[in-house]
């Protein structure tokens, strides 16, 4: 199986490295030229959770034109706002039987991929792995959460189970899911409760669970999002807050992906996370002042370095 990782940032590179140890052939594709140059040259280095430093040899490309052959599986890991363009740019790397799997953060990724390729080819999942890009060619594994994979609207199929087995053979704790839409909402709660707070304050994920001042904002953001999830058909109780805090603990040394975006003065996924909760809340007549404030503050920060309002 040829796996193309579309968007080889911190998480894409981590998955690519793990999967390169399986029967699959892995190609990384990223717009980050320095990272691709470093991985193609000296390889990808992972600072593991136990402190060991492990090098990986991987094929890495900056342009879809350079990717050899056809991908059997494309794992979409680009930022949510870049999804359509990125998937549209790799049609030459795909064939009639290519399957796409999104493990991205946020809401709307499946829809964005299905706007470009046949929706029957799109699998969906969520992962609570944590990974930080330390510098080009080097990432730090920041947490070992579970990965779930499924299909929209139907129980986990044979092709889902095959990919789950492949992920397991890569050492990734992975389960098939019959309710993947719910998982996306559960992951949305995790990202809504962790990412904006870490982005705005410069802290690592674990600090959210350790400090009452941070965990109370996290709690408020998640609790006010629960009725929105319910209005969308996903029954979630107050225990959701504990689940979010336990992900913060499990990825304690990680800087969230939004934190890393802000550190590198990049556009964030705020619109697909807290911003999406605000938008859904408006549709359903549910006020979401905490998520609105977090969204406004992250957008203000973004505007300060991107120069846009
Ligand atoms: O976006 C992220 O950083 C990750 O989804 C998670 C699980 C919060 C770990 O940092």
The residues near 184 (Cβ < 8 Å, ≥ 6 apart) are 107, 110, 124, 126
Assess if residue 284 is contained within a domain.
Answer: yes
Residue range 135-164, pLDDT digits in tens: 999 999 999 989 999 999 999 999 999 999
Which one of 179, 202, 228 terminates a domain? 179
Q: Answer yes or no: do 175 and 190 share one domain.
A: no
Assess contact for 126 and 148: CB atoms under 8 A: yes
> What's the chain look like in SS3?
CEEEEECCCHHHHHHHHHHCCCCCEEEEECCCHHHHHHHHHCCEEEECCCCCEEEECCEEECCHHHCCCCEEEEEECCCHHHHHHHHHCCHHHEEEEEEEEECCCCCCHHHHHHCCCCHHHEEEEEEEEEEEEEECCEEEEEEEEEEEEEECCECCCHHHHHHHHHHHHCCCCEEEECCHHHHHHHHHHHHHHHHHHHHHHCCCHHHHHHCHHHHHHHHHHHHHHHHHHHHCCCCCCCHHHHHHHHHHHHCCCCCCHHHHHHHCCCCCCHHHCHHHHHHHHHHHCCCCHHHHHHHHHHHHHHHHHHCCC
Work out the pLDDT band at 276, boundaries 50, 70, 90: very high
| Closest residue by Cα to residue 149 from 193, 192, 101, 97 | 101
Q: Whose CA is nearest to atom 1 of ligand 1?
A: 257
Assess if residue 128 is contained within a domain.
Answer: yes
% residues pLDDT > 90 (the chain): 98
Q: Answer yes or no: do 293 and 207 share one domain.
A: yes
| Closest residue by Cα to residue 160 from 146, 145, 178 | 178
What average pLDDT is seen over the chain?
97
Question: How far is the centre of ligand 1, averaged over its atoms, from the C-alpha of 128 (Å)?
Answer: 6
Give the residue numbers spanning the domain of 243. Answer: 186-303
Q: Answer yes or no: do 190 and 175 share one domain.
A: no
Structure ipTM = 0.98
Q: Answer yes or no: do 173 and 199 share one domain.
A: no
Dihedral (CA of 78, 82, 83, 86) sign: negative
Ligand 1 pocket test target in 9, 105, 245 with most atoms within 8 Å of CB: 105
Which one of 134, 164, 179 terminates a domain? 179
Assess if residue 308 is contained within a domain.
Answer: no
308 annotated active-site? no
Question: How far is the centre of ligand 1, averaged over its atoms, from the C-alpha of 258 (Å)?
Answer: 8
State yes or no: pLDDT of 269 exceeds 60: yes
State yes or no: pLDDT of 190 exceeds 80: yes
Q: What is the pLDDT of residue 264?
A: 95
Q: Answer yes or no: do 163 and 193 share one domain.
A: no
Counting every residue written for the chain, the total comes to: 309
Q: What is the pLDDT of residue 237?
A: 95
Give the chain's domain count. 2
State yes or no: pLDDT of 105 exceeds 90: yes
- Determine the atom of ligand 1 nearest the C-alpha atom of 254: 10
Strand-strand pairing, 71-76 and 174-177: unpaired
Residue range 32-85, pLDDT digits in tens: 999 999 999 999 999 999 999 999 999 999 999 999 999 999 999 999 999 999
Assess if residue 38 is contained within a domain.
Answer: yes
Work out the pLDDT band at 256, boundaries 50, 70, 90: very high
Q: What is the pLDDT of residue 309?
A: 56
The active-site residue out of 187, 265, 266, 308 is 187
CA distance 238 to 292: 20
Assess if residue 99 is contained within a domain.
Answer: yes
Assess contact for 268 and 298: CB atoms under 8 A: yes
Assess contact for 80 and 109: CB atoms under 8 A: yes
Q: Answer yes or no: do 56 and 152 share one domain.
A: yes
Question: How far is the centre of ligand 1, averaged over its atoms, from the C-alpha of 127 (Å)?
Answer: 8
Q: Answer yes or no: do 22 and 147 share one domain.
A: yes
Q: Answer yes or no: do 239 and 271 share one domain.
A: yes
Residue range 193-250, pLDDT digits in tens: 999 999 999 999 999 999 999 999 999 999 999 999 999 999 999 999 999 999 999 9
CATH number at 295 reads: 1.10.1040.10
Assess if residue 140 is contained within a domain.
Answer: yes
Q: Answer yes or no: do 158 and 18 share one domain.
A: yes
Q: What is the pLDDT of residue 136?
A: 97
CA distance 75 to 80: 13
Strand partners, 149: 125, 176
Which one of 132, 157, 179 terminates a domain? 179
pTM higher than 0.90: yes
Q: Answer yes or no: do 32 and 72 share one domain.
A: yes
Structure tokens at 67: 């990717």
Q: Answer yes or no: do 58 and 169 share one domain.
A: yes
Q: Answer yes or no: do 249 and 297 share one domain.
A: yes
Q: What is the pLDDT of residue 182?
A: 95
């Amino acid at each position: 199986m040829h796996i193309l990782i579309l968007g080889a940032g911190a998480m894409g590179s981590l998955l690519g490295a793990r999967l390169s140890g399986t029967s699959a052939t892995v190609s990384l594709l990223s717009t980050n030229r320095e990272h691709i140059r470093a991985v193609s040259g000296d390889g990808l280095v992972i600072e593991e959770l136990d402190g060991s430093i492990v090098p990986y040899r991987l094929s890495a490309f900056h342009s879809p034109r350079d990717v050899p052959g056809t991908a059997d599986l494309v794992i979409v890991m680009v930022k949510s706002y870049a999804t359509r363009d990125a998937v549209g740019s790799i049609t030459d790397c795909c064939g009639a039987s290519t399957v796409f799997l999104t493990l991205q953060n946020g809401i709307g990724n499946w829809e964005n991929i299905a706007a470009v390729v046949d929706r029957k080819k799109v699998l969906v999942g969520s992962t609570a792995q944590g990974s930080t890009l330390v510098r080009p060619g080097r990432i730090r594994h920041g947490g070992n959460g579970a990965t779930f994979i499924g299909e929209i609207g139907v129980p986990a199929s044979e092709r889902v189970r095959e990919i789950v087995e492949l992920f397991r053979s890569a050492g990734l704790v992975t389960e098939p899911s019959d309710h993947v839409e719910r998982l996306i909402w559960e992951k949305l709660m995790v990202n809504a409760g962790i990412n904006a707070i870490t982005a705005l304050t410069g802290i690592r994920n674990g600090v959210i669970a350790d400090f009452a001042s941070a965990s109370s904002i996290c709690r408020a953001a998640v609790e006010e999002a629960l009725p929105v999830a319910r209005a969308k058909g996903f029954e979630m109780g107050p225990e959701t807050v504990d689940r979010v805090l336990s992900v913060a603990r499990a990825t304690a040394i990680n800087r969230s992906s939004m934190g890393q975006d802000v550190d590198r003065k990049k556009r964030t996924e705020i619109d697909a996370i807290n911003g999406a909760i605000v938008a859904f809340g408006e549709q359903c007549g549910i006020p979401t002042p905490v998520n609105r404030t977090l969204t406004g503050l992250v957008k203000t920060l973004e505007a300060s370095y991107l120069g846009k309002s």
